[in-house]
Amino acid sequence: LKLEVKWWCQLSVFKLTYSLLWLREFPMTKRRRPPCDVTPLAKACAVSAEAFQRVTGVDPEAASVRAVPTVEEEVLRSRAFDALRAKLLKECGAGLAGGTTRYPSMAFERWWFSAQHGGRSIKSRGCTDPLLPGTARKDDSTLLADLRQVGFSEEEAQRIAKNLSTAAAVAASTLSGRRPRASRGVVTVEHTPSSDVELRSAGASVLLKARAFEKLRALYRQKCGATFEEAAFVVALRYQSLGGSGFHLALPTSAFEVLASEFGVLAECFASPLNCWQPRYCSAFPDCDVPFGSLGNFFDFHPTRGAFEVNPPFAPSVLARTRLHIHDLLAATKDALSFVVTVAHWDHEEVKAFRGSPFAPGRLV
């Protein structure tokens, strides 16, 4: 898989093409998931909060959460999300006696990204759950296109999309009504013979590489009404639930080092506590990521200067929203502001739109 890395600014564009030799697969079956691995943190210490604010115009301590979700709530959320994925598989014929499965590759993940990033903010769409897309459209264009592509008729595709949307709304509403509000769960930490770390609570478990667990401990710096073990369990289960494959590939450490030393990149705009290289980053789930250094959601991030690495998931709706947000930020500032954007080497209109940006008039190869 080839990726292009572009340096976006008001004057020039830097492009780097390289090949990735390894791709992490997240199974969609009930087999035991492999332990969550981790991108190592930068060896050099991050700049202080004061220096970061001076350089970027953003206070890194502004993002905060009163309390992360309880482990019981997150387990319920994870099970509901798994049930939605299973429903789409069943609607496409999976597991039916004598039936033919016509499941579009990564259709569930593409639908989720479309529901979460369909051109409006989560708040404006009335969403209250960070993972369950309770306001997904019944005629979601991304899902309909995927279903048609594998041979479903228009009527069948409309029925499947409507059923999935209805199920998502019910799941989000049900979780909201059952959400534990005060109790905190006890998390058991066990080091396995294979040097992994297993966290167990409320009848669920997540498996982390030992280095991933220690990275979370190093990042954890904000009190959030929970112990470190509880916060680590919640964040690990959230990303395990999201799963997916092929939507996001982290840059190698050597690339991050070049971006930091040569371009002054101070933060990542699409990362997580598990795959961030910079200790400061924007992420998809501020409700559980902020205690581990997240600056919040990228689309709520408004730097006026500085340099940032942008590696969005390879989903059209996310790419479109990312491009528009970057354009707005660059157009609004008079200071030196730049973005290093990583996109798939993909023949798609949204990738072409990045290449044709008015803020990228030149290219260095």
Beta pairing class for 188-191 and 196-201: antiparallel
**Residue 184, both tokens:** 């905190």
- C-alpha to C-alpha distance for 132 and 87, rounded to whole angstroms: 14
Give pLDDT tens digits along the chain (365 positions). 344 444 444 433 333 333 222 222 223 233 345 556 567 777 655 688 999 999 999 999 888 887 889 999 999 999 999 999 999 999 998 645 555 578 888 899 999 999 988 644 444 445 579 999 999 999 999 999 999 999 999 999 999 999 999 999 999 999 988 765 555 678 999 999 988 999 999 999 999 999 999 999 999 987 777 899 999 999 999 999 998 544 566 788 999 999 999 999 999 999 999 999 999 999 999 999 999 999 999 999 999 999 999 999 888 889 999 999 999 999 999 999 999 998 877 788 988 898 889 988 655 44
| Domain residue ranges of the chain, discontinuous segments joined by + | 49-66+247-356, 71-177, 188-242
CA distance 164 to 158: 10
Rg of the chain over CA atoms, in angstroms? 21
Please give the pLDDT value at position 241.
Answer: 94
Q: What is the pLDDT of residue 11?
A: 34
Distance CA 140, CA 88 (A): 14
* Residue 110 backbone dihedrals phi, psi, to 5 degrees: -65, -40
Q: Which of 121, 48, 132, 35 is nearest to 83 (CA)?
A: 132
pTM of the entire structure?
A: 0.84
5-39 burial: b if 16+ Cβ within 10 Å, else e: bbbbbeeebbebeeeeeeeeebebeeeeeebbebb
What DSSP string runs through 316-357?
A: HHHHHHHHHHHHHHHHH--S-EEEEEEEES---HHHHHHHT-
pLDDT at 9: 43
CB atoms within 10 A of CB 198: 15
DSSP bridge pairs for 288: none
What is the spatial distance between Cα 355 and Cα 348, in angstroms, rounded to a whole number? Answer: 11
